[in-house]
Amino acid sequence: MMIKQSLRDLKKEATAHALADAAYELALERGLDGFVVDDIAQRAGYSRRTFANHFSCKEEAVVMSTVAFKENHEPEQLLAAIPADATPLDTLQHLLKMRLTAELFRKLRTLVNMSKQAPTLEPYILIVLRKLQFEAQSILSELSRGRHPESYAHLLAGATYGVMLPLIDGSLNVLLPGEPAAEFAEAMTFEQYLDTAFSYLRQGF
């Protein structure tokens, strides 16, 4: 079962989220070289020591702004929204539709573009992708109840989250969730892209 967070954990997560948002805003306004940790702490309303309790550097804080603050009941809500008879691939497709929002993709695209001038961001972008993948692995393991080996969830989540990469780097013409189709006449929708990608996965390429 998912472990519920304590009030202290929720407050800690909210503080980290506020610091990360401030770091991301400063990166957009000034560029990565245009601010320091003290600027982040001041904008978020915390001390430099509080920043150090959450992040190792400003690059980590900037990238972690993509990780949304989660209420303690959210994992249960995600699980409840997935049909009981869903296959592992159906579960992952449903999870991607729920979790991958336009805001997440836009932030990740912005960070990937930013990392071309600031390569120090790259390891932290990979960490975020790994966090998303680990969440998918955990949910698959929770739902499988021992019907599949642990390695199965790891391999399937890894293959599935490769679907994200062309959307993040903009190499495919896909409408992000919430984008108006009129502005991109030739683009496929996010749902169409996922349906196509998962049909390949089901057929084993």
Residue-level pLDDT at 153: 79
Mean pLDDT (whole number) for 91-106: 77
Residue-level pLDDT at 205: 58
Residue-level pLDDT at 1: 42
Contact 175, 188 (CB under 8 A): yes
More confident residue, 40 or 8: 40
Give all domains of the chain, ordered by start, each with its CATH number: 1-67 (1.10.10.60), 73-205 (no CATH)
Report how far Cα 43 is from the mean position of its chain's Cα atoms: 24
Q: If pLDDT is split at 50, 70 and 90, which confidence band does 3 have?
A: very low
Amino acid, single-letter form, for residue 61: A
Cα 105 to Cα 55, 125, 149, 171: the distances in Å are: 22, 12, 31, 13
| Termini Cα distance of the chain | 34
Contact 20, 61 (CB under 8 A): yes
